[in-house]
Chain A
């Protein structure tokens, strides 16, 4: 993970499937999709939107395929952040999942990356205000 200090910081906080901090919330898409697992993911997603302003990354690396309920859920996730100052990103994990996200046109409304690392690599640095001397008021605390 050395190429991405941001991910290093998140990874050190990891405990189990979900990782949450102020930079991004990572939610693992269930490998076996059931009504209960989707409901749980939906709850985590809504909670992440409620408690943090950071982007939410949904990680599909443990998932081999998507069914129509999964796709409905993903579209709902996209709709939940649409028009709000929030962002959701998908880490496809495999080419098959990426293909399914492309053919359903979900990739046209939600940015899709190959991995969580890539999804986090472009987490936007908060906008900085500089004083007259060109110094950042809180240099070193971008993240």
Chain B
């Protein structure tokens, strides 16, 4: 096989490693959290399909990447010539075919994609690079030939960049589109949304499936309330994101924030993640447990599954050769 593709979903402990975020940020959002109903993993899979690749392996990166490296080396020994490795930490509208062509033409063993803000977590490795003793991270920068990407990219594990992606997708400044029905200009809602008559929706904004918006609440502008949330009476959500299964208490003003269950990140508070406030003691926010009805269960999509369980829902087959759990996806 000439090209194999591996997507690495950062494990929770990887969040702090990647972003140096406050340890309190660990229970927060992950790369698998939907963005306007979209799964970034699926967005990458769609791009990978354009390469005509038949097999994709999915793995969760541990804090220590040595296991992953050894597993890739195992694949290389089995005859795979080249690996496209995507760390699921960014959304990038990358032309993978062009990326592969660049790698071939540059004749380097390792090519990494980067933009003006640094590496995007997308790299191509030749078999030779894997079979040498040095890991990718320990190789000299001189041995790498970066692929300069000038298109649209955002680091989705950064709360601030994530919100920038939401804003851009809502106004059509990137190719991501909200998953739902556009009920009026720049206002999208998912299925089974319950909006109180007195609730006000200001575009651009998005309300995900089964979310309940109670009386007097205001959503928008530039707000994303993902699926299965409850926004209580009188609360205003502006330029913010509420992640799935979150309860937002009554009478609140959520501006420039990211809420994940009981936790609230201030998007203006710092470069990475900002400060994390706990809303639960004040009864202002919480995680809504999933108590799906049979009807809801039948409608669940793979993206509805909890993190790390989604692979099974997509029919991923466990791959046992590797030293850690790997899942093979038939494209």
91-118 of chain A: CB within 8 A of chain B: 94-96, 99-100, 102-105, 108
A100 and B253 within 8 A (CB): no
Q: Given the complex of chains A and B, what is the CA–CA distance between A82 and B281 in angstroms?
A: 27
Interface residues as binary, B274-313 with A (CB distance below 8 Å gives 1, 0 otherwise): 1111110111100000000000000000000000000000
Please count how many residues in chain A sit with their CB below 8 Å of the partner chain's CB atoms.
Answer: 16
B252 and A70 within 8 A (CB): no
Query: Beyond A68-B282, A68-B283, is A99–B253 a contact (Cβ under 8 Å)?
Result: no
Instruction: Give A95's nearest chain B residue, CB to CB.
Output: B275
195-233 of chain B: CB within 8 A of chain A: none
- A residues less than 8 Å from B278 (CB atoms): 65, 96
B253 and A102 within 8 A (CB): yes
Q: Given the complex of chains A and B, what is the CA–CA distance between A99 and B251 in angstroms?
A: 15
Interface residues as binary, B102-140 with A (CB distance below 8 Å gives 1, 0 otherwise): 000000000000000000000000000000000000000
- A residues less than 8 Å from B65 (CB atoms): none
Q: Within 8 Å of chain B (Cβ to Cβ): is A71? A: yes
Chain B: minimal CB distance from A81 (Å): 20
Interface centre among A66, A96, A103 (most CB of B within 10 A): A103
CB-contact partner of B281 in A65, A95, A102, A105, under 8 A: A65
Query: Beyond A66-B282, A70-B282, is A96–B277 a contact (Cβ under 8 Å)?
Result: yes
A100 and B277 within 8 A (CB): yes
Chain A: minimal CB distance from B266 (Å): 5
A99 and B282 within 8 A (CB): no
B284 and A99 within 8 A (CB): no
Q: Given the complex of chains A and B, what is the CA–CA distance between A68 and B277 in angstroms?
A: 14
Interface residues as binary, A43-76 with B (CB distance below 8 Å gives 1, 0 otherwise): 0000000000000000000000111101100000
Interface centre among B252, B266, B276, B282 (most CB of A within 10 A): B282
Instruction: Give B283's nearest chain A residue, CB to CB.
Output: A68
Q: Within 8 Å of chain A (Cβ to Cβ): is B255? A: yes
Query: Beyond A67-B281, A71-B282, A104-B252, is A96–B276 a contact (Cβ under 8 Å)?
Result: yes
Please count how many residues in chain B sit with their CB below 8 Å of the partner chain's CB atoms.
Answer: 19
- A residues less than 8 Å from B275 (CB atoms): 94-96, 99
Instruction: Give A97's nearest chain B residue, CB to CB.
Output: B277
Instruction: Give B265's nearest chain A residue, CB to CB.
Output: A99
- A residues less than 8 Å from B276 (CB atoms): 96
Q: Given the complex of chains A and B, what is the CA–CA distance between A93 and B81 in angstroms?
A: 57
Interface centre among A68, A102, A105 (most CB of B within 10 A): A102
CB-contact partner of A65 in B252, B254, B255, B277, under 8 A: B277
- B residues less than 8 Å from A68 (CB atoms): 281-284
Q: Within 8 Å of chain A (Cβ to Cβ): is B269? A: yes
- B residues less than 8 Å from A108 (CB atoms): 253
Q: Within 8 Å of chain A (Cβ to Cβ): is B257? A: yes
CB-contact partner of A105 in B252, B277, B283, under 8 A: B252
Q: Given the complex of chains A and B, what is the CA–CA distance between A94 and B22 in angstroms?
A: 14
Q: Given the complex of chains A and B, what is the CA–CA distance between A67 and B217 in angstroms?
A: 23
Q: Given the complex of chains A and B, what is the CA–CA distance between A76 and B68 in angstroms?
A: 57
CB-contact partner of B264 in A66, A94, A103, under 8 A: A103
B269 and A99 within 8 A (CB): yes
- A residues less than 8 Å from B281 (CB atoms): 65-68
- A residues less than 8 Å from B255 (CB atoms): 102
Interface centre among B251, B275, B277 (most CB of A within 10 A): B277
- A residues less than 8 Å from B257 (CB atoms): 99, 103
B266 and A95 within 8 A (CB): yes
Chain B: minimal CB distance from A76 (Å): 15
- B residues less than 8 Å from A103 (CB atoms): 252-254, 257, 264, 277, 279, 284
Instruction: Give B235's nearest chain A residue, CB to CB.
Output: A103
Q: List 21 A-B contacts (CB under 8 A).
A: A65-B281, A67-B282, A67-B283, A68-B281, A68-B282, A68-B283, A95-B266, A95-B274, A96-B276, A99-B257, A99-B264, A99-B277, A100-B279, A100-B284, A103-B252, A103-B254, A103-B277, A103-B279, A103-B284, A104-B253, A105-B252
Other A-B pairs, 14, CB within 8 Å; known A65-B282, A68-B284, A105-B252: A67-B281, A67-B282, A68-B283, A71-B282, A95-B269, A96-B275, A99-B264, A99-B269, A100-B282, A103-B253, A103-B264, A103-B284, A104-B251, A104-B284
